Amino acid sequence: MSLRSRLIAPVALGAVLALGLTACGGTTKDSASTDSGSAAAGGVANPNAPLKDGLKIAFLPKQLNNPYTDIEVGGGKAAVEELKGEYKLVGPNDASASSQVSYINTLIQQQQNVIGIAANDPNAVCPSLNQARQAGIKVVAFDSDAAKECRDVFINQATTQGIGEQLVKMASQLAGGNGEIAILSATPNATNQNAWIAVMNTELKKPENAGLKLVDTVYGNDDDQKSFQEAQGLLQRHPNLKVIVSPTTVGIAAASRYVSSSSYKGKVAITGLGTPNQMRQYVKDGTVSQFALWNPADIGYLASYAGAALASGQITGKQGETFKAGKLGDYTIGVDGEIVLGPPTVFTAQNIDQFNF
C-alpha cells in the first residue's frame, strides 16, 4: 500500500465528519417537532348513526398461533359476525414490529374499514398506521397500545384501580369481612404488581375493610418453586391467616398447589389473578372458590364494536363519547381515547367451565 492510498481513507472520513459537524445545531431531539403528521380525528360524532353492515374489520395481533391471542381475536370474530361484517385475521409469526408494518400496508391496499392491532412496538407501527388513517381506515389498538397519536381508540383490559379494588373485594368476601390476610406477589420491583398492591393498601384503609388486617407481603419472584415455599412459610408464620391474595398467575397456582395437598385445605382461602385452565383443578377440588382475570375474548369483542362505532360515525375517539358494545353494554371513551373493558371477570365453580384459556 502506498502512503497516498493509506492517507485517502482517514482524510475522506474526516471530511465526512467535518461536513456533519458543520451541520451541527441541526435537527436534534429537542428541536424536532414530534408531530409525525398525525391524521387528525376529524368529523363530528353522531351518537344516533346506525351501525353499518358489511364493515371489513381486520385483526393484527402481536403474533399468530399464540393461545391467549387466539381467544382475544376469537371474541373479535364473534362480534364481527353479530355486526354482519367481514372478519379477517392476519399477522406475523415473529413478534416483530417491521413485519407488522408490512401487514398494515397490505390491509391499507385491501381497503379495510377497521384495523384492530396489538402493537409490537408502539412507535414503529406509527407511520404506517397514520397512512392507514389518512386512507380512511379506523384504528383500534387493543392489548398493547400504539402511540396515542396514531390510533383512534385503545381498548384497555383493566385499570390498576379496578384490579386493586377487585382483589380486596374478593379477599374481604373470603375472610367474611374480618381476619388476617397476606399477599404473595411476583418480584419486589414488579411494576404491575406493586401498583395493584398500592391500590389494595388504600382500599384496606377504608372503613368498610377495617376488619381486614394485612399481616405480610412476600415475593415468589414468579418462580413456581419459590412461590410454593413462600406460601408454605406464610402459613407457618401466621397460624390465623385466612386468605392469601396472589396477584400473579404463577403465585396463585403455586399457593393453590401447596394448600390443596396440605392440612390447611378448606381453612385458608386462596385468591388473586389466574387463568381458568391453570386454576380449574383447584376450583374443582374446593381449594379455591373465586379468583379473577380480565376475559381476553371480551377485549376482542369490544375492539370490534368500537371499530364499528368509529367506522359508522357514532364516535370519533374523543373523550366523553359513548357507544353500545353488544352484550357488554354501554361504554364511554376516557382520557387519550382509552376505553376500559371494565372490572375483571370473577371465576367460580359455576362459570369456570365456560372459559378455556
Q: Does 11 participate in binding another protein (rule CB under 8 A)?
A: no
Binding residue for another protein, selected from 61, 75, 76, 91, defined by CB under 8 A: 91
Half-sphere exposure of 209 (CA within 13 A, CB side): 22
Binding residue for another protein, selected from 71, 80, 90, 259, defined by CB under 8 A: 90
Query: Which residue has 397512512 as its cell numbers?
Result: 131
Of 32 and 349, which CB lies nearer to another protein in the complex structure?
Answer: 32
Binding residue for another protein, selected from 105, 134, 178, 261, defined by CB under 8 A: 105
Q: Does 351 participate in binding another protein (rule CB under 8 A)?
A: no
Q: Does 28 participate in binding another protein (rule CB under 8 A)?
A: yes
A 10 A CB-CB count for 137 gives 25
Stretch that binds another protein, among 26-34, 44-52, 137-145, 343-351 (CB under 8 A): 26-34
The footprint of another protein on this chain (CB under 8 A) covers a number of residues equal to 50
Sheet with 86-89, edge to edge strand ranges: 86-89, 56-60, 114-117, 138-142, 153-156, 338-340
Question: Which SS3 state, helix, strand or coil, does residue 219 take?
Answer: strand
Which three cell numbers mark 324? 353500545
Q: Does 97 participate in binding another protein (rule CB under 8 A)?
A: yes
Nearest-approach distance from CB 343 to another protein, in angstroms: 32
Pairing between strand 269-272 and 138-142? unpaired
Q: Does 109 participate in binding another protein (rule CB under 8 A)?
A: yes
Residue 320 phi/psi, 5-degree rounding, is 95, -15
Question: Which SS3 state, helix, strand or coil, does residue 108 take?
Answer: helix
Of 125 and 231, which CB lies nearer to another protein in the complex structure?
Answer: 125
Distance between CA atoms of 331 and 323, rounded to whole angstroms?
Answer: 6
Binding residue for another protein, selected from 3, 29, 240, 263, defined by CB under 8 A: 29
Of 118 and 273, which CB lies nearer to another protein in the complex structure?
Answer: 118
Q: Find the length of the chain.
A: 357
Sheet with 179-185, edge to edge strand ranges: 212-219, 179-185, 241-246, 269-272
Binding residue for another protein, selected from 3, 4, 33, 236, defined by CB under 8 A: 33
Q: Which of residues 57-76 bind another protein (CB under 8 A)?
A: 64
Q: Does 108 participate in binding another protein (rule CB under 8 A)?
A: yes
Which three cell numbers mark 321? 363519547
Of 110 and 332, which CB lies nearer to another protein in the complex structure?
Answer: 110
Binding residue for another protein, selected from 11, 23, 44, 335, defined by CB under 8 A: 23
Distance between CA atoms of 247 and 245, rounded to whole angstroms?
Answer: 6
> Is the CB of residue 323 less than 8 Å from the CB of residue 47?
yes
Residues of this chain that interact with another protein (CB under 8 A) are 1, 13, 16-17, 19-21, 23-37, 64, 88, 90-93, 96-98, 101-103, 105-106, 108-111, 121-128, 131, 147
